[in-house]
Amino acid sequence: MSDKISRRQLAALAGLSAAAIAPPLEGANAEPAAAAAASRDSGFPAGFLWGTATSSYQVEGAVEEDGRGVSIWDKFVRIAGKIEDGTTGDRANEHYHRYREDIALIKELGCKAYRFSVAWPRLFPDGDGKPNPKGLDFYNRLVDELLKSGIEPWLTLYHWDLPQSLEDRFGGWRSTETCKIFGDYAAYVAEHLTDRVGNVFTLNESGRFVYFGYGIGIDAPGLKLPQADVNQIRHNSALAHGLAVQAVRAHGRRGTRVGPAENIDACAPAFDTPENVRAAEIALREMNAGYLNVIMTGRYTDAFLKYAGPNAPKYTDAELKIISSPVDFLGLNIYAPQNYVVASDQGAGFRPLPIPKSFPHMNSDWLRVGPETIYWVPKLAAKIWKTDAIYISENGTSGDDVVSPDGKIYDTDRIMYLRNYLAQLQRATDEGVPVRGYFLWSLMDNFEWVYGLNKRFGLYHVNFDTQVRTAKLSASYYRNVIAKNAAGA
């Protein structure tokens, strides 16, 4: 990823700089676990949930079939120069027609869960109004086929494909009207699918779609708005999350679980000392103060509000109560470290360090290789927000994925990445960090947003001309991990 769209920019999401003022957290746990190394080969806990993931616009295709409406991405991809290779999600993986074939691939891996997203404009072409029965029929078929194959469906309500009609009529997420309509949409999904779907993610990566879509204009809808507007839109997305949680509670099957899936601004200590661990805990809270922290605590931190100043979002106590509706789990999308921090006696009590140009990364420049991130972030998040159920809702890597003369893809780079990250995740679970499951991104190569078809994250290679799926070597690795329930497989 070029510097202009680096995930490093997500540090701005909380509206804090390195000089922000924040009170230290009480009782930050800086004690290293001495027994971790001895137990690391024991494997993940019994019942650990292994899954994989996709999203609707990235795989479904069929954008003009069976009554589906237009999304902001359908419009955005047609703006010259926005997509690196000029492709669109019009066809993508043809998952809308090939879902049975793709579910067979999930089963082949041994996965017990599949995270997918519902395309809002497929159910409500205009975002609201009369629902489209053919759209619901597709997700009914998908869920039934998953259950038939012994795979648990995990549903995401929003993975960025906002109905264009809502953007045109209300300004999309700039308006609380969209939030209310999202709540109604969530209620409809809960009423019709939670008889078979037991787990629901609300919004995927608010941090990404707000900042990239409305702040710097790199994602749909492609706007560059003032910081005050961006902060307000982020607040609105948190409100939409809260309304969706309430809708699932009110309209879903009793016992349905619900929570967010966020690309948390990942902070880790530069190295393990009590002072640096404490600094990383403060940093994780403050760098995520504009979304996750307000969801989990019901308040904006003093440091966030002080730094934002006149650009702070406008809100009511009633909205904060909705936003902080209790969740059943916390989904964390973790790919790379955004911030290595050390303790500081100035400002916030932490100092984010610059990332050297020589820092190792995968074939996406932004995707720095920092396996310890997936250890520290869940560990610190569980303490900060007192959650007892964390799911890694996304983790994975792009790769060069060259097809060899024998027709196979020997993606040892992806295996290296996964082995190291999963070893650190196992370290976390060995120490009692409440990570209950892991969804590898992605099941198969797909339309990768601004990169089009140029970046491949899949366990299965996709020939986008023929739509042939071919297992990469990493698929065998992941199958072995699942079978042994251990990272060192």
Q: Which residues are catalytic?
A: 205, 394
Judging by DSSP bridges, how do beta strands 468-471 and 339-343 pair with one another?
A: unpaired
Closest CA relative to residue 282, chosen from 261, 259, 302: 302
Rounded Cα gap, residues 255 and 266, in angstroms: 31
Rounded Cα gap, residues 20 and 100, in angstroms: 51
* DSSP one-letter string for 133-157: HHHHHHHHHHHHHHHHTT-EEEEEE
Closest CA relative to residue 352, chosen from 4, 14, 52, 1: 14
Single-letter residue type at 407: G
| DSSP category for residue 212 | I
CB 270, CB 353: distance < 8 Å: yes
Element at 440 (helix H, strand E)? strand 435-441
Tokens representing residue 319 in the block: 């909205």
Q: At what angle do helices 95-109 and 133-148 cross, to 10 degrees?
A: 20
| Helical segments of 42-113, H only | 56-59, 72-76, 95-109
